Amino acid sequence: MAGNIKDKEAFQRLNFLYQAAHCVLAQNPENVELSRFYCSTQKTIAKRLVLRQDPSVKRTVCKRCCTLLVPGVTATVRQKRHKRECVTVVRCLSCGLTKKFPNNPKHHLWVDQPEAQLENQHQSEQGPSSKTLSQGDKAQSVAPSTQTVPSDSSTTPKS
């Protein structure tokens, strides 16, 4: 994800801001404004540098007011049924925004699926490598190129 040095430094800065917001709320739960400032700065940096944040980070930050959602401190978490499905409802105590997340154990985020990984996409575009070919496949792929084409005697000049 952090391929070059610039992105690595930016991700380290985002990580620091996220951890600082957590530490501020852990030490004194009344410092919601400072935590909100760190989260809004993190969001601004990520947007300005066009960096994708992990869904677990995005789930813990309120989209409306940029408050870090800590259960019992800045958010309430409830398990409810919504349209025959169990969902987790997270409600921000600062602005009242609610988020609903499915409780389905079979539900997987796109980021967690193997197709979403960049390494797997490059391998599928290139096709099978020579290491993955079996011996029989190598013999078949090499055999047509080593065969000689018989020359027609009518096209070759006689000396």
The domain spans of the chain are: 5-104
CB 38 within 8 A of CB 19: no
| pLDDT > 90: percent of the chain | 52
pLDDT in tens, 53-111: 998 999 999 999 999 999 999 999 999 987 888 999 999 999 999 999 888 888 777 77
The closest alpha carbon to 36, from 25, 26, 50, belongs to 25
How far is residue 22's CA from residue 56's CA, in Å, rounded to a whole number?
14
Residues 19-32 pLDDT 10s: 999 999 999 999 99
pTM of the full structure: 0.66
Residue 99 CA: distances (Å) to CA of 1, 29, 58, 64: 27, 22, 11, 11
128-149 tens-digit pLDDT: 544 444 444 444 444 444 444 4
